[in-house]
Structure 1
Amino acid sequence: MPKSLEGIYQIATFSAIRKLLIAETIALSAFPFFLIPSAFAGNRLTNFSASLGQVSNSQVLDLKGNSFTISSELPRKNTYEENLKLWQNQLESARASGDRELQGVAITNLGAIYTSLGEYNRGLELYQQGMLIFQELGDRSKEIWVLNNIGTAYKELEQYDRAVEAYLRAIAIARSQGTLVREGWVWRNLGHTYRSMRQYDRAIEAFGQAVRVFQNTNAQDELADVTRLLQEVQRERDR
Structure 2
Amino acid sequence: MTQIQCNLSRDREETLIAYLYDDIDPVIRGTFEEHLATCERCRSDLGALSRVRTQLAQWAPPEPGFVHAAAAGQSGAIRSSPAEHTPWWRDVPVWAQVAAALLFLGVSAGIANLEVRYDHNGLTVRTGWSRGSTAPPSDSVAQRAGAPGTPGTPGTPGTYVPWQSDLAALEQQLRAEMRAVPPAAVAVRPAANDSEILRRVRVLIGESERRQQNELALRVGETIAELNARRQAELRTIGRSLKETENKLGVEVMKQRASLNYLMNVSQRQ
* TM-score of the aligned structures, taking structure 2 as reference length: 0.21
Which structure's CA Rg is the greater one? 2
Structure with the bigger RCO (C-alpha within 8 Å, sep 6+) is 1
* TM-score of the aligned structures, taking structure 1 as reference length: 0.23
